[in-house]
Amino acid sequence: MVTRHSPPVVAHGPGRWRVLVVIGFGLIVGGGPLLVGAPGGDDAYYHAMRAEEHARCWLGGVALPRWYPDLNAGLGGPEARAYPLLPLSLQAALALAADDGVAATSLATVLIAVVAGMTMLRAGDRRNVPRAWGAVAAMAWSASPYLMIALHERVSLAEGWGLAVLPWVLDASLPPQPASRREMTAAALAWAVLLATQLPLAAMACGVVAAGHLAAPGRERLARIAGAGALGAAVAAVSWVPNLAALGRTASGFLTEGAFGFAGQFLPGGLANDPRLAHQLLLALAGATAAGLALAVFDRGAARGLGVAAVAAAIMATPLAGPLYRYLPGMALLQFPWRWVGVAACLATLAALRSTRRPLRAAAIVALVLPLAGVTWARWRLAPGAPLRPGDPGVVVARAAARYGVPPILPSFPAYLPRGVDLPAALADAAHARALVTRAGPSSPDRFEFRCDPSVGGTVRLPLLAADGWEVTLDGRRVGWSGERGLVAVVVAPGPHRIVARQTLLPEDIAGIALSLAGVALLALMWRKRPAPPAVT
C-alpha cells in the first residue's frame, strides 16, 4: 500500500523587493510634501486637535474617551462620540509617539500612502498576478490622484485611512468571494475595520458589493457575504453605534446643509467656492472613468466586471445620480458625491490588476495616474510653530493651535456641538459661572469637582458644556441637572456644597461595547483553524 500526500500549496508570496519598493514609494508620495511643511488644509486643525485631546484622555486614564475636556475654552465637548474610533485611536497613538498632534497628522499622511500600496499589493498576491505587475498597480493606487487630494489638499485622514483599506475590503467581498467560511471571517474583519474608519465610505463600498453579488447570484455566496457584513458590523459596533446615535444628540444637521449639501457638489460644476479643488477632482474623475471604461469595453476576463463597476461609481459623482441623492433615504449623509471618485479609482485599479492584456492594463494605469500632473501637493502647508503636546496644559495647547488660524480655545467642529447649545452664549456666560464655583479635588478628563457657597438658594451653573452623558452629584447625592445658556445648571440651597460632574457612557456606548465583545468572540470562534485533511491512501 502506497501512501500519497497532496502536494503542498505554495503561497504566491509578495517578494521582499516588491514590499520594499512599494513601501519606499509610499514614503515618497505620502511624505514628499512634508518637506515644505506640515499639512494645513481643510481638516488639518481638527485632526491635530483630536489627536492631542484623545492622547490627553489616555494619559488621564480614560481608555475609551467620549468627552474632550479642553475644547471650547475648557467647557469641553462630546466630539469623540460622533467621530469614528479607529482614526481617533491611530492619531492619538501617533501624537504620543511624536509628542505632537501636528506631527501626528504628518505621520498619518505617510502611513496612509504606505498602507494603501500594501493592501493593493496583497490583493494582487491573492489573485496570483505577475509579481512586477502587482507592484506597479500597488504604487499606482498609493499615488492615485484622489487619495493624494484627500491627504495633501483636504487632509481628510479618516477618508484616507478608509481608502487605504478599501482594496482589502473589496477584494475580500466582491464575487466570487467569499467562497468559504474562512473567507467569510476574513471579509468580516475587513468590514469591521472600514466601519470603524469612515461610515460614508463603508456605505458606498456596501452598495458596490451588494450590486456585484446581485448581478452574479449564488445562494451560498450571498449568505456568506451577508454573514460577513453582519459580523463585521457587530465587531465595529463600539464605533459606529455611538456615531449614528450622535446624529440625534449633536447639531449634525450642519453636516448636510450649506457647504455640505450634496446639491452643489456634483462634478462637473460643483465646489464653486474652491475652483482649484474642483478642477483637481474633475481630473481624477476623468482618469478613473477612462481607465474603467477601457477595461469594461476591451477586456474579456475578470477585469471587465470591475471596469463596469468603476464606471458606475464614477457616474455617482455626476448630476446623473442627482435623483438618487434626492429621493433615496440616507444618501444626503454621504455629503459629497465626488467621494465616489475614490471608489471608482479603487475599482479601476483592481480591474487593471486582474487584466491579462498587458497593453490594456498599462493604458488603464496611465489613465489613472496621469491626472497627478494637475494635483497640487503643497498649496496648504502649515508654518512652523509651537507643537501641540499631549502633556501640556490645555491653555498652552490652545495657544499652539492658533497657528492654524483658529481662536485659541480648541473649538469643536460645529456639527459635533451638543444639540441646542449656542457656543458664543456659553462662552460669554462661562466667566460668570467660574466666578461662582471653585474647582476642587483631583482632576481627570471626565470627572470635575466644584465647591460653591451661595448666600441664597437657586441655580448654579457649572463651567461645563451641557450635553448628554453628565451624571451630577450634590454633596454625595445624585441630582438632576438642566441646560442653561449652554452650561450644566444645578439647583442648590444656601450654604457650602460639593458638586461632582462625571461623564458616563450613554446607552448607545454600552450597546456598542457589548455588541463588539460578542462580535469579537464569534469572529475568534469562526477563525479557529480546521484540522488538516487526512492523508489519501
Q: Identify the pLDDT of residue 184.
A: 92
Cell digits for 504?
458616563
Q: Is 77 within 8 Å of 467 (Cβ atoms)? A: yes
CA distance 347 to 377: 24
Q: Identify the pLDDT of residue 221.
A: 83
Q: Identify the pLDDT of residue 12.
A: 43
Q: Identify the pLDDT of residue 301.
A: 81
Q: Where are the domains of the chain?
A: 16-381, 420-507
Query: Whose CA is closest to 310, among 355, 277, 263?
Result: 355
Per-residue model confidence as pLDDT tens for the chain (537 residues):
333 333 333 344 447 888 999 999 999 999 999 999 999 988 999 999 999 999 999 999 999 999 999 999 999 999 999 999 999 999 999 999 999 999 999 999 999 999 999 999 999 988 888 888 999 999 999 999 999 999 999 999 999 999 999 999 999 999 988 888 889 999 999 999 999 999 999 999 999 999 998 888 777 888 899 999 999 999 999 999 999 999 888 888 887 777 777 888 898 987 878 889 999 999 999 999 999 999 999 998 889 999 999 999 999 999 999 999 888 888 888 889 999 999 999 999 999 999 888 899 999 999 999 999 888 888 889 988 889 999 898 889 999 999 999 999 999 999 999 988 999 999 999 999 998 999 887 778 999 999 998 888 889 999 999 999 999 999 999 999 999 999 999 999 999 999 999 999 999 999 999 999 999 999 988 877 554 444 444
Cell digits for 42?
481643510
Instruction: Taking the CA atoms of 303, 170, 183 and 21 in sequence, report the sign of the dihedral they define.
Output: positive
Q: Is 288 within 8 Å of 149 (Cβ atoms)? A: no
Q: Is 388 within 8 Å of 37 (Cβ atoms)? A: no
Q: Which fold has domain 420-507?
A: Immunoglobulin-like (2.60.40)
Name the amino acid, one letter, at 296: A
Query: Could you give the residue ranges of the DSSP H alpha helices within 9-84?
Result: 16-31, 44-59, 71-74, 79-82
Q: Identify the pLDDT of residue 338.
A: 93
What's the Cα-to-Cα distance from 113 to each of 32, 146, 200, 286, 292, rounded to whole Å?
11, 12, 20, 22, 22
Q: Identify the pLDDT of residue 530.
A: 55
Q: Which residues pair with 367 in a beta bridge?
A: none
CA distance 175 to 170: 9
Give the three-class secondary structure for 480. coil
Q: Identify the pLDDT of residue 94.
A: 97
CA distance 164 to 156: 12
Q: Which residues does 318 contact at the CB level (< 8 Å), separation at least 6? A: 266, 267, 268, 285, 337
Give the three-class secondary structure for 252. helix
Q: Is 126 within 8 Å of 187 (Cβ atoms)? A: no
